[in-house]
Chain A
Amino acid sequence: MDINLAGMYDTLSALIYLARINGGFFRKQILVFWMSFLLLVLPVSQVLSKEKVTFLPQWIPQAQFAGYMVAKEKGFYNEWDLDVTLLRGGPDINPFFNLAARETTFCSGWLSEGIQQRASGIEVVNLAQIIQQSSLLLIAKKERHIDTLADLNGRKVGFWMGEFYMPIRALIFKHDLNVKLVPNYTTVTILLKDAVDAMAAMWYNEYHRMILSGYNPDELSVFRFSELGVDFPEDGIYCLEKTYLSNPVMCENFVRASLKGWQYAFTHEEETLDIVMAYADAANTGTNRAHQRWMLARMKDLVLDSDTPGSFGILDRDDYRKLGQTLERMYMIDEVPEFDLFFKGWH
């Protein structure tokens, strides 16, 4: 139970001040009564006034969601009158489904997915764009003689089902690749065991898992989607349009507290890692601090690295348009939703 001590102190100070100047009016007994009343009622009323909401990230607890964990643990959500529960994502969970089913208030997801959902009639709105670029890579072992994108032709490429499918298809489409896609259900084992020749990987996650499996960077061939014309912005915060329309202040509060969480996370590495590791351990993800340290650092690169300063949390209209058109061209959506209906961020 959180108590707004600062607020209480102000109130008490005011009462004491009044008691001094109006000594005759405020009897001592009355003062004691008021103070007792305030002590009992104030905290309860504070908690009662908080909005209970949930947030569902699209993957297991890791530094990819450090900002939300920090905002929760450092009490930033509380400061914005929110009582947030962080739900646990994972490979079997599509957060947009949960959003549509009203099982969560907010969720995190890729922009391509968000656009597709909106285009398919599920009325979601983007409240903030956290990662403004693509961090997706294709990685391969150099020892298997893959040095250029063309070397992948005729080879097996591992990929995750779901949201990852769109950028990979876009890449294949754009570069006219002839690869055999093999679904990957876990991490890099598929590549390590040579069950595939290359795999889709996140810069902040699987790439480093390869490093943590003993591969040196110079032993890996890395193809960055962002440099191959498939620069899809990734993580953003979503909610249903109805939720937004019924309580825009709450939505704004959630975004502001989350952004503050991110900013705090990037400037307090060790403390943030402690928080992240606690969440990861609770979910038994079997990760380690070294890996989360790498992920947090890459998140910092991705989240803060933007062409336009002050764009933190803002969805760029151009980025939206380009991605929308790409999806449209690939027949993934019928029509690009209107930007102003889709993005409800705060400038």
Chain B
Amino acid sequence: MLSWFRNSIVYKMTFLVMGTASLVLGFVIAYSYHYSYEMILKGSETNARHLTLSAARRIEQEFRSVAKVAQGLADHLSVNLDNNEQTLLKLVKTSVENNPEVYGGGAIFEPGGFFKDRIAYAPYFYKAGNETRFVQLASPFYNYFQKDYYHITRLLNRPTWSDPYFDEGGGDILMVTFSAPVYWSKTRGNPEDFRGIATSDISLEWLTSLVEKIQVVQNGFGFIISDTGIFVTHPVREDIMRESIFSVAEEKNSLALREAGRKMVLNHSGFVDIGTALTPQESFLAFARIPSTGWSLGVVLPREELLADLVRLHQRTLLLALTGVCLLFVASYLLARSMARPLLRMSGAARKIATGDLAVDLSDIRSSDEVGQLAVSFEEMVEGLRQKEFIRDTFGRYLTKEVVQQLLESEDGLKLGGEQRELSLMMSDLRGFTSLTSFMAPEEILTFLNRYLGKMVEILMNHRGVIDEIIGDGILAFFGAPEPMKDHTVRAVACALNMQAAMDEINTMNELDGYAHLEMGIAVHTGQVVVGNIGSEKRSKYGVVGSDVNFTGRIEGYTVGGQVLISDTAYQLIKEYVDVRQTLTVQMKGIPGMVTLYDIRGMKGPYNIVLKDRDESPKLLKKEIVIEVHRLHKKVMDKTKIFARITHKSQTSVIVLFDRKIETWEDIRIKLADDDYPSRGGEAFGKVIHTRQLENAWEATVRVTSLSPQLYQLFKDTGSD
């Protein structure tokens, strides 16, 4: 995981984004929770306090109306001191019957309070179903003088609400009694005048149902405690009159509830957190005073319900936040991946390129953002590399490393235009090759040519020659560019000599393959030319132009097979190194005066090469060979068939007797006369290098430049002894 994280931008980005987002969201939610908690709690508190207070007021109204009944009765009895029992009973009975909230009521007297001779007299009416029942409380088994509702009221000498109690005198139910003192005089309040009490009762059952009707909260509940903390109403009926808020606090060991209870009995209103003291779940307690009795109405509000809105809000917020984080996760993952994947692809491609493989395709990276741009740039780079590779591949076959390097590396390597410079030019050509090829299959031509050119290009490159052009069998090359070289003439000549020397090897292979014997002529010239990129933007080459190039071509035209002819200019530069076989002086078209050319045999110095001397002395043939000769004008064959005879033959030349005049440097095609050699085909090409007029005939020395295999064999067979 850690290494994933460390090594993956996807994981880094995803987790960073998600982590930060979660953190921020967490803080926001926590803050909002805290803030809204306070707010909602405050609102709930105000609301709960208000509701509890108004509920307490409602209950207070009930107590007051019940108290009014007893007080009315007491007032009446304090004024009317007669002892008419019937009037009293009717009065007490109506006080119970006419007030639905009153459970029971009585007139309870001191000894002698009603009848002078009665120690106890206490008529009491209470409700039982639909009827009102009567009971005389005074009995040997019920000492009302000791009951709180009587005893305490008497002691305090003022109206009192009793604590709730289980009354066994009448209805045997839990009740509370309001007792109003009755006096012997209209000026009430003197304890000496205490005559008894008038009471009205509230059934706790009725009170409980009243409290239950008060719907302050859905899941909470209301209860009433007396001023001593005892439960007067409680949803759990068994707890009424048995438990007090303090006994519950003690059993639950809850100081909070005890404190709340103390506040309640001290007649405060309030709102406190009581934990789980009264309910299994966390709750708040709102309470308010019921002034008449000094009791307190408590409302238990489960925290959950109170904060339900808050919880719901935050559940949703949390859900939204989680969804957001998930979406963010997906988004950041996708984003990171969209970045990382092209990067990975490119890094893979780069690795591939490093191994030299340029077959890289990034075309599926389609985005146009920075990564996409990077990919495009990458592709452009690959394309550039590919082009350079192509250039290197293509040019490398014809150009030296230096040229290729310069073309590729120099900023304006491929710019058109060039410079005037002194170079050595070399031109080579195969003698009679064009005519020879007309008898060969195309594939043979190519094999033949490639073998020849392959070898020649190799030698050229070794001598740092730059190939300007290869046209068919002819090569134009130059030395001394693009890098300047002091010894370009030496190199050019040495290269030419080596190329000539290589011809033996090529011919040996050609003979084995049954191809024609080849002769090559090379011309070397040193002169001022323009060198550079020649051509248009679309197609250009690094080459040379100038009259010296044409001049070199002319020189080449004078060569015969196996010969290296160099110009005088070239010769002057390197004469101390070269071994000249012969000097030729020729008249060239368009060039005034005679031109001196040097047939170079070999070279001293670092290149140290000497061409084998051929046996040039013609030997008389045992038998003359009759031939047909066609003259060639600018490599085009004249149709006129001239019969002639070969009388002598050397390794390079033949002596031919013509019946007409023939010019020196003329090119001719030789073919065996059909009549004499019906079975032999084949032909040869040659250049007339010397003529002599005889009687009735002209003798020409013909340098044979190419020879078909048949003829080559014939010449061998008919060789002189």
Q: Which A residues are closer than 8 A to B by beta carbons?
A: 91-92, 182, 185-186, 188-190, 192-196, 211-214, 216, 284, 286-291, 293-294
**Chain A residues, CB < 8 A from B148:** 185-186, 189
> Are B166 and A286 in contact (CB-based, < 8 A)?
yes
> Are B228 and A189 in contact (CB-based, < 8 A)?
yes
- Contact pattern, B 241-257, Cβ under 8 Å of A = 1, otherwise 0: 11111111011000000
**Residue of A with least CB distance to B265:** A214
A182, A186, A188, A211: the one contacting B155 at CB < 8 Å is A182
B163, B227, B243: the one contacting A288 at CB < 8 Å is B243
**Residue of A with least CB distance to B249:** A290
User: B229 within 8 Å of A by Cβ?
Assistant: yes
**With contacts A195-B156, A284-B166, A286-B241 known, what are 10 further pairs, Cβ within 8 A?**
A189-B152, A192-B227, A193-B152, A193-B160, A194-B156, A211-B250, A286-B242, A288-B242, A288-B244, A288-B247
User: B415 within 8 Å of A by Cβ?
Assistant: no
Given contacts A185-B147, A189-B228, contact A212 B247 (CB under 8 A): yes
- Interface SS of A by simple majority: loop
**Chain B residues, CB < 8 A from A212:** 228-229, 244, 246-247, 250
Given contacts A193-B156, A195-B155, A213-B265, contact A289 B247 (CB under 8 A): yes
Count class of interface residues, chain B: 20 to 34
* 24 A-B contacts (beta carbon < 8 Å): A91-B146, A92-B143, A185-B147, A185-B148, A186-B151, A188-B228, A189-B148, A189-B152, A192-B228, A193-B160, A194-B156, A195-B156, A212-B228, A212-B247, A213-B229, A213-B246, A214-B258, A287-B242, A288-B244, A288-B247, A289-B247, A290-B243, A290-B248, A290-B251
**Chain A residues, CB < 8 A from B227:** 192
User: B262 within 8 Å of A by Cβ?
Assistant: yes
**Chain B residues, CB < 8 A from A284:** 166
| Distance A195 CA – B227 CA, assembled complex (angstroms) | 15
**Residue of B with least CB distance to A196:** B155
- 9 A-B pairs with the lowest CB-CB distances in the bound complex, closest first: A185-B146, A290-B247, A213-B228, A195-B155, A290-B250, A288-B247, A212-B246, A214-B265, A290-B251
**Chain A residues, CB < 8 A from B246:** 211-214, 290
> Are B152 and A214 in contact (CB-based, < 8 A)?
no
| Distance A182 CA – B147 CA, assembled complex (angstroms) | 14
Question: Least Cβ distance of A107 to chain B in Å?
Answer: 22
> Are B228 and A214 in contact (CB-based, < 8 A)?
yes
List B residues 138-158 near A (Cβ within 8 Å). 143, 146-148, 151-152, 155-156
| Distance A213 CA – B265 CA, assembled complex (angstroms) | 8
Q: Which of A182, A193, A214, A289 counts the most chain B CB atoms within 10 A? A: A214
**Residue of A with least CB distance to B262:** A214
**Residue of B with least CB distance to A190:** B152
**Residue of A with least CB distance to B162:** A189
**Residue of A with least CB distance to B247:** A290
Question: Least Cβ distance of A158 to chain B in Å?
Answer: 9
**Chain B residues, CB < 8 A from A185:** 146-148, 151
**Chain B residues, CB < 8 A from A216:** 262
**Chain B residues, CB < 8 A from A192:** 227-228
User: B543 within 8 Å of A by Cβ?
Assistant: no
User: B159 within 8 Å of A by Cβ?
Assistant: no
**Chain B residues, CB < 8 A from A287:** 242
**Chain B residues, CB < 8 A from A290:** 243, 246-248, 250-251
| Distance A294 CA – B230 CA, assembled complex (angstroms) | 17
User: B196 within 8 Å of A by Cβ?
Assistant: no
**Chain A residues, CB < 8 A from B248:** 290
**Chain B residues, CB < 8 A from A193:** 152, 156, 160
**Residue of B with least CB distance to A192:** B228
**Chain B residues, CB < 8 A from A188:** 228
**Residue of B with least CB distance to A184:** B151
**Chain B residues, CB < 8 A from A286:** 166, 241-242
| Distance A149 CA – B250 CA, assembled complex (angstroms) | 30
**Residue of B with least CB distance to A292:** B247
> Are B147 and A289 in contact (CB-based, < 8 A)?
no
Question: Least Cβ distance of B608 to chain A in Å?
Answer: 126
**Residue of B with least CB distance to A212:** B246
Question: Least Cβ distance of B247 to chain A in Å?
Answer: 4
**Chain A residues, CB < 8 A from B241:** 286
List B residues 162-178 near A (Cβ within 8 Å). 163, 166
| Distance A284 CA – B155 CA, assembled complex (angstroms) | 27
**Residue of A with least CB distance to B141:** A92
| Distance A294 CA – B247 CA, assembled complex (angstroms) | 10
| Distance A59 CA – B156 CA, assembled complex (angstroms) | 27
| Distance A288 CA – B248 CA, assembled complex (angstroms) | 9
**Chain A residues, CB < 8 A from B250:** 211-212, 290, 293-294
| Distance A80 CA – B148 CA, assembled complex (angstroms) | 43
**Chain A residues, CB < 8 A from B561:** none
> Are B146 and A214 in contact (CB-based, < 8 A)?
no
| Distance A169 CA – B260 CA, assembled complex (angstroms) | 39
**Residue of A with least CB distance to B156:** A195
**Residue of A with least CB distance to B161:** A193
Given contacts A195-B152, A213-B229, A287-B242, contact A189 B163 (CB under 8 A): yes
**Residue of B with least CB distance to A294:** B250
Given contacts A189-B163, A192-B227, A211-B246, contact A289 B152 (CB under 8 A): no
Q: Which of B245, B247, B248 counts the most chain A CB atoms within 10 A? A: B247
| Distance A293 CA – B262 CA, assembled complex (angstroms) | 21
| Distance A196 CA – B151 CA, assembled complex (angstroms) | 12
User: B261 within 8 Å of A by Cβ?
Assistant: yes
**Chain B residues, CB < 8 A from A186:** 146, 148, 151
> Are A190 and B155 in contact (CB-based, < 8 A)?
yes
**Residue of A with least CB distance to B146:** A185
